[in-house]
Structure 1
C-alpha cells in the first residue's frame, strides 16, 4: 500500500505530578502507510503538528506493530522520539529549547485497530526522570480516509 491521505483526530491527555489532567485536541490531515519488517507488519501515520506544538514545520510520525510496540518521532525545530513496548521501561531522548534530556518511558498499554481503512491507536504511558514520575499520558489517534 502506498501512502494514503487520511484525516486524523489526535487527543492527548497529560497529567503532570499532582496537577489536574490537561487534554489537547488536534484535527489535521496526514498520511497512512503499511510497514513490513521481516515477518511483522504495521502502520506509519505522519501528520503536521505545528499548530499543537507551536513549532514551525513540526511533524510527527507514529509507527506501530500490532499491540506490542509503537514509536513517536517528532521532527522540526526540535527532535523528540518516544519508543514504546508494552509493559517495558525504555530510555528516550527528548529535545527541548533548554537542551536535551533523557527520560524513561513506561508503556502501560498499546491498543491498535488500524487497517487499510483507518482505525485507532491508543497509547498509555508514563514518563519518568531520575526515577521520579514526571507525567502520565494518554494519546489517541483516530484515522479516517479522505
Structure 2
C-alpha cells in the first residue's frame, strides 16, 4: 500500500527511581503504510535532544512486536515484545549505553487509516533497572490539501 500522510500524536511518561513522572508530548506529521499484519510509521522528532536536532524515527509493527529505529541526534534500535526483555545499544553524543526493555503490556490497534500503539515497559541501563516508561502513539490520516475542513478553517480566519 502507498504511504499516507498522517498526524502523529505521542505521549510518553517516564519515571525513574526517586523522581516524579516526566510527561513528554509531541505532535508532528509523518508517513504511514499498512498491509494486513504489518504497519510502518515514519516521522522526524526535533525534540529528542536539548538542541532540537532532528532524529528520523521509524516504527515497524508486526504481530506481537514493535521495532523502533532512530537515526540522527540519537541513534538506537529497540525491539519491544510483550513479556520479553530485549537489549540494544543506545548511542548519544556523549557515549553509548546498553539499554534493555522489558515489556509489561503492549497494545496495537491499527488499520489502513491509522490507529494507536501503547507500550508499558521497564528500562534497564547497563543491566540495572532505571525506571518505567509508558507511551502512546496515535496515528490519524492528515486532511488532504484543499479539503473542506482546510477551506472552512481559512474562511473563518
Task: Give TM-score, length-normalised by structure 2.
Answer: 0.83
CA distance in 1 between counterparts of 2:100 and 2:58 reads: 20
Give unmatched runs, 5+ long, in structure 2: 143-157
- 1:18 pairs with 2:18: yes
CA distance in 2 between counterparts of 1:94 and 1:19 reads: 22
Give unmatched runs, 5+ long, in structure 1: none
Instruction: Tell me which of 30, 46, 49 is aligned to 2:45.
Output: 49
How do 1:1-146 and structure 2 match up within 5 A?
Answer: 1-34=1-34, 41-53=37-49, 54-66=51-63, 68-146=64-142
Rg larger in 1 or in 2?
A: 2
Deviation at 1:57, TM superposition (A): 2.7
Q: Is the 8 A contact 2:123 2:132 kept in 1?
A: yes
Pick 1 or 2: higher relative contact order, CA cutoff 8 A, min separation 6.
1
Q: Is the 8 A contact 1:45 1:62 kept in 2?
A: yes
Secondary structure of the 1:141 match is: strand
RMSD: 1.6
Q: Is the 8 A contact 1:26 1:52 kept in 2?
A: no
- 1:69-128 per-residue CA deviation (whole Å, 9 max, x = no partner) reads 111111113311111111001111101222111121111111000110111000111111
Q: Is the 8 A contact 2:98 2:127 kept in 1?
A: no
Aligned length: 141
Deviation at 1:27, TM superposition (A): 0.6
CA distance in 1 between counterparts of 2:35 and 2:56 reads: 19
Deviation at 1:34, TM superposition (A): 2.5
Task: Give TM-score, length-normalised by structure 1.
Answer: 0.89
